[in-house]
Amino acid sequence: MKNFSTAALFLAFVSAVIPVSALSQTATNSTPGSTRCTFLPNAPDQHVVVRGDTLWDISGKFLQRPWCWPQVWDMNRDQIRNPHWIYPGQIVYFDRVAGKLRLGKGVGTDNSGVPTVRLSPQVRSTDAASDAITTVSFKSIEQFLTKPLIVELNELKDAPRIVATQEGHVFLANGDKAYVRGDLQGKTSFEAFRPGKPLKDPVTKQIIGYEAMYLGTLKVQRVSKIDTEPHTLTVLTAKEEMGVGDRLVPTEPTPFINYAPHVPAQQTDARIISVYGGVSQAGQNQIVAINRGSKDGIDIGTVLDLRRLGMMVPDRTTGNGRGLIKLPDEQYGELFIFRVFNGISYGLVMQVQDTVQVGDIATSPE
């Protein structure tokens, strides 16, 4: 028996017939019960979904803050966890009377001859979920789902390590044998990493992780049965120089979980600790890391405001001008969290008016 999308079933229950004339009326300024989800004054009446669209992009055509779309769809927490329900070819309608977005499939007339839009989303099986549009661009984050390019403080401490190379080679190439000590935990495929630059919490100044250099992949050829003898692995791909001392992590790709954007469950005040690529600044659609993770209530789909810490400046209107005042922290963009570790998370930079810098604030939206 096929499983059906919870969100699609929910929307099917709330399907309705709404006159087009009603859709043309002035929109409510914000969704009921929300001060954040404000519709754009020039929002269109509808949008036809095409392949390549993202939920964030579609919502940006209607809403001043695109991450608000789960609220204007009346989605609950469970539905947010599985938003596979909008597909190419469907039409998103703006119900201006209710201040909601809805899916529809067709235009007709009612008994009075007034054109109507029937809002009746299709119920689809999860077999078709791969055709559903995603929350954000999958291509922007794909490599970060399969490789832990940031490792937490003790993650590599007890990881299997390369102790010798084939015939004394300094570096390993494709097809070479690597001799490894450590607990393989029954795994057969591994990725090699080398710890790089330490990542410090901007507030506590403590090291909370390391940037990891991805070196390549290996496959187990022979498992040792005695502690004094190393395991034998074969190098499948060598992306960088790989050799003695490098650490191995089991190959366990993280599937893309298409969570809808939402505010964190608790007040969050994080800092940017790293920008991918060895630079200090990031722009739109680039990847950064923050100093908060699952232990801090962060989960996939969490949206945070990006803010620049307000400067301390002298108040030149009083006395000798030596009194200092702190300017407000300025919000300049948004961050979508797509992969979460215990104390560190990856985020995709969304819609910024300035560059993101290490040390900037990522906080719960106001």
Sketch the domain layout of the chain as residue ranges.
6-133, 146-250, 269-363
pLDDT of residue 248: 94
Q: Which of 176, 139, 72 is nearest to 348 (CA)?
A: 139
> Bridge-partner residues for 269, per DSSP?
363
pTM: 0.67
- The CB-side HSE value for 251 (13 A sphere, CA atoms) comes to 14
In Å, what is the CA distance from 73 to each residue of 83, 125, 220? 11, 20, 49
pLDDT at 219: 97
Given 3.40.50.2020, 3.40.1000.10, 3.90.1150.10, 2.40.10.410, which CATH number is that of 269-363? 2.40.10.410
The pLDDT of residue 235 is 97
Q: What is the pLDDT along the chain (366 residues), one digit of tens a residue?
A: 333 333 332 333 223 222 222 222 323 333 333 446 789 999 999 999 888 888 888 888 898 888 887 777 766 555 555 555 678 888 888 888 888 888 765 444 344 433 334 443 443 434 444 577 778 877 777 767 766 677 777 777 789 999 999 887 889 999 999 999 999 999 999 999 988 888 888 888 888 888 888 899 999 999 999 888 999 999 999 988 999 999 998 987 666 667 778 888 889 999 999 887 666 678 777 889 999 999 999 998 899 999 988 778 877 777 665 678 888 888 899 999 998 888 899 999 987 788 898 889 999 987
Cα 40 to Cα 49, 65, 95, distances in angstroms: 19, 9, 13
